[in-house]
A and B are shown apart, each in its own frame.
Chain A
Amino acid sequence: METILEVNNVVKQFGGFTALSGVKVNVHKGERLGLIGPNGSGKTTLINCISGAFTDYEGAIHFNGQDISKLKAHERTKRGIARSFQIPRPFSSMTVMENLLVPFAFVGGKDGPEQQAEAMEILRGMGLADKAFVQSNQLSQVELRKMELARAMAAKPKLLISDEAMAGLSGNEVDEVLEILFDLNKLGITIIMIEHIMQAVMKFSERVICLDAGKIICEGTPENIVKNPDVQRAYLGD
């Protein structure tokens, strides 16, 4: 299988505190990867390093074979890394459509009628078509989550990182979002999912990695992960 993302011994420190100590991950094209771990285990730090929110870390990150370690976030987005946020960050002064047109404009370089049609397609795919011209601060929680995924899609990503896109959603809302992620994956987009809701991760992921205290404590298929004693210890404590 061909590797799309290669995280090589990434170390990230905040002042004295080490958030990531030598994390090593390979992600394959088209893979559905689950990333789990207790609070403060470094999940979000890791994807911040991948998405480029942080660039001051040791180690290297390669994407599509190129070293992107020093690239700024927007440059990585241009190369095909898109993400959603744990706490949704809509462009609240804009309509949903305008939200999508930002990446169209700055990644694609166009925000004309075709792009708007395209954006509409994406929204339809997520069941947000009717909300297209609503100002985004009017949206419900689940709609916000979907819009963030839609906005990420508008950047035409090869790799999509979904950071707890299901936090605070009801059961069937979770399934809706899962559906969407599956569909996106079918389009050939590699997806890294960070999630607390276990059954969601297990249902979605082909492979699961468990972080604890800035280290990968184990990785494998959902089945063996749940059985893994380290994971249980990490979550439940001994």
Chain B
Amino acid sequence: MDKIRRKILETGGAGLLAATVPTSMAFAQSAPVKIGMSMPQTGGLGAGGQAALIGLRMWVDDVNAKGGLLGRKVEFIVYDDQSNGANTPGIYTKLLDVDKVDILIAPYATNPTAPIMPLVKERGKLLMGNFSFQVNAKVQHDMWFNNAPWNDAKGWSEGFLEAGKNAGAKSIAIFAADAEFQQNLANGCREVVKNTDWNLVYDQNYPGNNTDFSSIIRSVRAARPEVVFVACYPNEAVAIMRSVNEIGLGSQVQIFGGGMVGLQFTPVMQSLGSLLNGVVNYNSYVPGMKFPGIEDFFKRYTERAIAAKVDPLGFYLPPFNYATGQMIEQAVNATKTFDNKRLADYLRRNEINTIVGPISFDKNGERSKPRMVQAQFRNIKDNDWEQFKNPGKQVVIWPAADKQGDVITPFDRARKAT
């Protein structure tokens, strides 16, 4: 019976693709399946959240166009937690008890996610993680699957430091923002450095709302490091790069960057322009990385993003949020059920093909094969966001699998290189 209905719907779905009949009709008989989440759409994480949301909405539209999940229309319920973790427990209980959603997706980032982990575990619900960091390490919920292309802290800086090592560096300076994510980045880097013979010549955390970086950059320069690892907030990237340009770091610096959050977001990249040149920084995707279907995704994404006045490139979060949808889709279609236990089971056992490549998970529900890249910015012009669409503006230098070119050192030379 169910099978038959699905048949009808698939044809219905096909027809609807051809002659776009209002979706609602296609799903006349069956109740929709509810997928719910809270996404920071305002506050500190708002910019990223809004972009991510477009990625998810695109998946919802696509899957509904294909006839939904098991013939049921996907209904997507989103609330805004204002980037404030204090709001999420309430929101997720509402999703569970009032909206009665079938599948939960976590909010973007760690702070809003951490408070809902125990709740979700208590209820034995599947939770699709969203670019949070090691949030399950303590809670150990076996139905958690993070879409982020990283695993533990080390994965972050390995590539960056390796590049430094190849350039013969022996000393490193670290400065990081006093914030959750940035601190985790920096701690990862510190860990790696511990296991090398490098000496850590400068290591400082700086506060949010820092007006001027002159004195920090000055003291970094005084420490004469060969590698400078920066873990900053999007809001500080501009100020930092300016000060670097003004004060200078000294000719001995081989590579600079590493964990600068924000260099993935178009507004920041655009306002930095040529200041970006030479910086080596982590990313989740840069043009030129070959994934099936991703070009098409970004073509469609950019249209919607510009209409919605959010990050028009969206390299960082959107494709991975679309991938989250694909994971759900594949698991549901394979298991023919919405039963969270069995879905989780499937996700743990199988590799899923997504627009960001094949994804498989370890026992903590983090990526078993991290796929972070370190890329170096090259010949960037000022005030032009379209340029970032083209390969060669951000050259992947690590890992080998995705490598697009060799890192240019030292930093001063890399800044001028074209």
> In the complex they form, do A and B come into direct contact, defined as C-beta atoms under 8 angstroms apart?
no
Q: Contact residues of B with A, CB < 8 Å?
A: none
Q: Contact residues of A with B, CB < 8 Å?
A: none
